[in-house]
Amino acid sequence: MVYKQWKIIPRPLLETVLNNHAQRHRVPQPLILHGPRGAGKTTLILERLLGEWNKGPHLTGYVDFAESIKDHHPQFNQSFPWASWSNCPPTTLPNCRTKLESCLESMAHKGVQLGSISSHQIFSTLSKWHGLNTALRHVIAGNGAAKNAVSEKASGSVLWDRAVFALSARCNAQEIDVILGLTEKKKNVPLEEASYYREAVVALRLAKEVIKQQQSWRANAIAHLNRTGGFSRSLANSCTDWPCLLMELLSQAAEIDHFQPKLVINNVEVLKNVILLDENSSVCGSMYHDSLIWRLIALGANERCFPVVLVTSDSYYSYLAYMDFGFPDIFISREILIP
């Protein structure tokens, strides 16, 4: 471990650095904000920046993986700045996954409301990384395999449209309208436009169902991996498929002055030490963490990603992470002590 004196950065300068990163609609790298616990990182984000980052076309998701550690989190008046999160009772992986996925899903729904995310876009993005036909046939079949049978020669796009139609029949239409804000009295949306938005919401649910179906087929392999303590990048990636798909969709949908999403993940280091409750459902926390970060980096490097800020008090991200993930400039890193 490398030890050196903390660099003190004045708050206005730090705000400028963070704002410059957040104001762009797509960036090549995630930004890591690293400083000791109690330095004011969370206060800066929540009280100074988050409000501004949710005005106009800007939409910012905020996830704090340490929120469920009630005995040590400031939200419950139990902040101990000198204590490392690694020394606190760990939270669970399902809890962290739910927080992240729920946040990204709500952001994606906002993108649908603005017409920035469509059913076709979801299909195109999903089909880049997944073979969909078998899973789509399962969705179409539902409880009536014979009645809903589709020709073996049907293309992927045809199967997708049929699956969206089949799933929409099983969804609660009123619930979808609430998600889209179509139940508000002041919102008068043409019927054709409303149908387009509803289709996109159902398509998101279909994508989630397809990924869930494919992951269930890998359950035995994941359980074996957890029991033996092995490593598999493909199995790790299968567990992060859903949040990474949402991040890719949000990145594609980002448009200056129309829809500019961004994401802040606070206490990201907590994810490395979480408890796995079900060995069939996911890889371990550290492998899930590495897969998520690696795919976030790859998205930024290959296609540009919507701005992501990782807030941490773990020196690993300043001194060692670049060795694990490739090269020194893989992150934009700001190591600070706020006066």
Domains of the chain: 1-92+257-339 (3.40.50)
Q: Please check whether residue 246 is in contact with residue 299, taking contact to mean a CB–CB distance below 8 angstroms.
A: no
**Which residues have CB under 8 Å from 45's CB, separation 6+?**
62, 264, 266, 309, 311
With cut-offs at 50, 70 and 90, classify the pLDDT of residue 102. very high
Q: Rounded CA gap, 34 and 4, in Å? A: 14
More confident residue, 153 or 174: 174
> Which two three-digit tokens encode residue 292?
């998520």
Q: Rounded CA gap, 279 and 219, in Å? A: 8
Greatest mean pLDDT among 3-7, 207-211, 227-231 lies in 207-211
What per-residue confidence (pLDDT) applies to 335? 62
**Which residues have CB under 8 Å from 177's CB, separation 6+?**
183, 198
Q: What is the C-alpha radius of gyration for the chain, rounded to an integer number of angstroms?
A: 21
More confident residue, 214 or 187: 214
Q: Please check whether residue 65 is in contact with residue 267, taking contact to mean a CB–CB distance below 8 angstroms.
A: yes
For residue 322, give the 3-state DSSP assignment: helix
With cut-offs at 50, 70 and 90, classify the pLDDT of residue 1. very low
Predicted TM-score (pTM) of the model is 0.90
What per-residue confidence (pLDDT) applies to 43? 86
First to last CA, the chain: 25
- Window from 98-107, 176-185, 269-278 with minimum mean pLDDT: 176-185
User: What's the rounded mean pLDDT across residues 179-189?
Assistant: 73
Q: Rounded CA gap, 162 and 154, in Å? A: 10
Partners of residue 275 on adjacent β-strands: 92
Q: Rounded CA gap, 17 and 45, in Å? A: 12
User: What's the rounded mean pLDDT across residues 181-209?
Assistant: 85
Closest by CA to 104, choosing from 276, 300, 269, 245, is: 245
> Which two three-digit tokens encode residue 133?
């036909």
**CA torsion, points 103, 109, 114, 119, in degrees to nearest 10?**
130
Name the DSSP class of 40. S
Q: Please check whether residue 127 is in contact with residue 156, taking contact to mean a CB–CB distance below 8 angstroms.
A: yes
What per-residue confidence (pLDDT) applies to 82? 52
User: What's the rounded mean pLDDT across residues 46-62?
Assistant: 94
- Alpha-helical segments (H) within 77-218: 93-113, 119-129, 133-141, 156-170, 173-180, 191-216
Q: Please check whether residue 248 is in contact with residue 254, taking contact to mean a CB–CB distance below 8 angstroms.
A: no
User: What's the rounded mean pLDDT across residues 53-74?
Assistant: 84
Residue type, 318: S
